[in-house]
Amino acid sequence: GIQVEQSPPDLILQEGANSTLRCNFSDSVNNLQWFHQNPWGQLINLFYIPSGTKQNGRLSATTVATERYSLLYISSSQTTDSGVYFCAAYGSSNTGKLIFGQGTTLQVKP
């Protein structure tokens, strides 16, 4: 089945800095989602982005399906951005199962 790998596993930033999180997947995907798990444990949808580029405030994401990767950009980071960022994908067979990466743990220091 499809495999999803994220990098880096951990990231520490000073408030105001920019960052790029990467998600590689081993096969063609029909769905690619980015989630933020905040320090209270809630999983929040950031982007549904099987291809192309989307922006939402300080966050944007790009998926290049033909090259099997997606990037999440965080600009002008804030302490509230801290938490774990997951990417997840359905394989091309689209069984309905999202395959999650192991996550990137982000800490933004004031």
Partner 1 sequence: DAGVIQSPRHEVTEMGQEVTLRCKPISGHDYLFWYRQTMMRGLELLIYFNNNVPIDDSGMPEDRFSAKMPNASFSTLKIQPSEPRDSAVYFCASSSGVEQFFGPGTRLTVL
Q: Which residues bind partner 1 (CB under 8 A)?
A: 31, 33, 35, 41-43, 45, 48, 86, 88, 95-98, 100, 102-103
User: Among 104, 103, 97, which residue's Cα sits nearest to residue 29?
Assistant: 97
Nearer to partner 1, 25 or 86 (CB): 86
Nearer to partner 1, 14 or 40 (CB): 40
Nearer to partner 1, 58 or 97 (CB): 97
Question: Least distance in Å: CB of 45 to partner 1?
Answer: 6
Kindly provide the b/e burial profile for residues 45-78, where b requires at least 16 CB atoms within 10 angstroms of the residue's own CB. Answer: ebbebeeeeeeeeebbbbbebeebbbbbebeebe
100 - beta bridge partners?
88
